[in-house]
Structures are given as C-alpha cells and as structure tokens.
Structure 1
Amino acid sequence: MRLIQRFATGLCLSLFVWHAIADDTPAYITPVSVAELGEQGFDGVILDVRTPEEFAQAHIPNALNVPHPLLTNHLATLGKTDTPLLIYCRSGRRARIAMDQLHDLGFRKLYHLSGDMQAWQAYSKP
C-alpha cells in the first residue's frame, strides 16, 4: 500500500512539474494554430527563422526567411515595431529565441505558429 502511495505522489508531482515547464510561453506571445493560418491567412509578416537550406526545402507561402542569428541585421525588412509578426522554425526553439529577441527590441505583436513547420507540413499534406 505504501508503494502505491509513493508512486501516486511521485506521479502527481511529476505532472505538476511538467505542466509548469510546458506552459512557459510568455504572455506577449500569441499562439496561432496551423488551421487558423491555413483558413484565415495572416495580416502581417510571416517570419521563418530557419536556415536558408531548410527554407528552400519547404516553407509557408509568402514567408520571409531571416535566420534567427541574423535577425538584428534585417530589422528594416520586418517593418515597424507595431507590425504583426508570425514566427516559426522547425520545432519551436529558434522561434522562441527570435521572439524573445524581437520583444526586447520593442516588437509587441508577436505570434507563434503552434507546432511550427512540423505541424504546418502535417496540416498541408493531402
């Protein structure tokens, strides 16, 4: 019985910690689902922060490719700080770095494609 209680306690604690870690998206980032993007489009700049090689293999139509390490060199191409920016990469890590960087530079209308390119490719396959 004691083993079951310890297991249950450990499981609850693990779920609590996982939820706290998984939900660490800052309030200044608005998630956008692939279905929303596919059906409604996006009124702003769609920014792909992957490498040019990854971009050449596949990308969202009308996306602008600026690899995240070069972001500060291309601020003029993004528009003013009130321009809505939908940012994605392959899995989310580079997009998050870019969004944090852009927020620090004064951009406030930041959107993240939920699931990034992996989700877009799964959504757009017939």
Structure 2
Amino acid sequence: MENSEAVIDHLIKLGYFHIVGVLEGGIETWKSKETVASIRNIRAREFDKKSVQGHIVDVRTEKEFKSGHIDNAMNIPLTDLVNFDFKLRKDDQQLYIYGQSGYRSTVALSILSLKGFKNICNIQGGYKALQNEEKENQ
C-alpha cells in the first residue's frame, strides 16, 4: 500500500487530482483477465537516427521547455494534453514523445493512444537521456 500512496502523491504533483484508485494486484492481475496494449519505446541513441521521420512532442512544462529542448519539438505540457486539439493525422504520422526522464511521456502515450493515435513512441529516459546522448556525440 505504501507504493500506491507514492504513486498517488506523484500524480497529484503532476496535476491529476481525480484519482479513482489503484489496481489491486498490479498489472499482472489485469493481464490475466483483459488484453493489455503495450507502449513502444526507443532509446535516445536510436531516436537520433530516426528523429527526422516524424513529429517530436515535449510534454514537460513551458518553463522546462524554454530552458532547453530538442530541435523541432513542439511543447504540449502533459497537463494540457487531454484537451489539446491535434491537427496531425492519427494513423500514419510518427510521434516521438519525451518528458524530463520518461515518466510523463509514458502517461502521455496512454492519453494519445486513447485519442486514436497509432504510431506513437516513448523516448526512454526523456530529455535527460537525449542530452547525455548529445554530449557523448560531441
């Protein structure tokens, strides 16, 4: 139960206040009864090679985005993502999503999936990993 409280506290810090509950038994309990969709992940090194093949969405806050971001990234903070009206095609346009370290982008992928997007990919480790990859390549 202690872990559940930590997750709820983290979600509240991200701006989610209407939390219904926590799945008792975790995802394995759900998988035993329902089909579970998975999230496509890409490492920062792989992203560097593919970034020109789609749109890049930064789900960090405006302040974080202004302090540094990936070239050509559009900023849609996670807290705004549910209400954001995407003008992009949902079926064939690749979207690469990143946050600061990977947590927010994972949540963002779930939201985008519910909005009907098919080709969405989480950049593992987020902006931190992308910065580290850039430093290693210099």
Please, what TM-score do these two structures have when normalized by structure 1? 0.71
**2:51 aligned with 1:41:** yes
Q: Which has the higher helix share?
A: 1
What is the correspondence of 1:6-25 to structure 2 with a 5 Å cutoff?
Answer: none
**2:95 aligned with 1:117:** no
Kindly indicate whether the alpha-carbon contact (under 8 Å) linking 1:28 and 1:110 is maintained by their aligned counterparts in 2: no
The C-alpha deviation readout for 1:50-76, integer Å capped at 9, x for no partner, is 001101111111000000111133332
Kindly indicate whether the alpha-carbon contact (under 8 Å) linking 1:29 and 1:111 is maintained by their aligned counterparts in 2: yes
**2:74 aligned with 1:64:** yes
**2:57 aligned with 1:81:** no
State the one-letter code of the partner of 1:120.
L
Q: Percent of pairs identical after alignment?
A: 34
Distance 2:62 2:84 in 1: 14
Distance 1:69 1:122 in 2: 26
Please, what TM-score do these two structures have when normalized by structure 2? 0.66
Kindly indicate whether the alpha-carbon contact (under 8 Å) linking 1:28 and 1:108 is maintained by their aligned counterparts in 2: no
4+ residue segments displaced more than 3 Å: none
Q: Secondary structure at the match of 2:83?
A: helix
Distance 1:74 1:30 in 2: 22
CA change 1:105–1:40 in 2 (3 A) is: closer
Q: CA deviation at 1:47?
A: 0.3
Distance 1:115 1:27 in 2: 21
In structure 1, stretches of 5+ residues that fail to align are: 1-19, 21-25
Instruction: Calculate the aligned-residue CA RMSD, in Å.
Output: 1.8
| Higher RCO, 1 vs 2 (CA within 8 Å, ≥6 residues apart) | 1
Count of matched residue positions in the alignment of Structure 1 and Structure 2: 101
In structure 2, stretches of 5+ residues that fail to align are: 1-27, 29-35
The C-alpha deviation readout for 1:6-52, integer Å capped at 9, x for no partner, is xxxxxxxxxxxxxx8xxxxx754221221122234241110000001
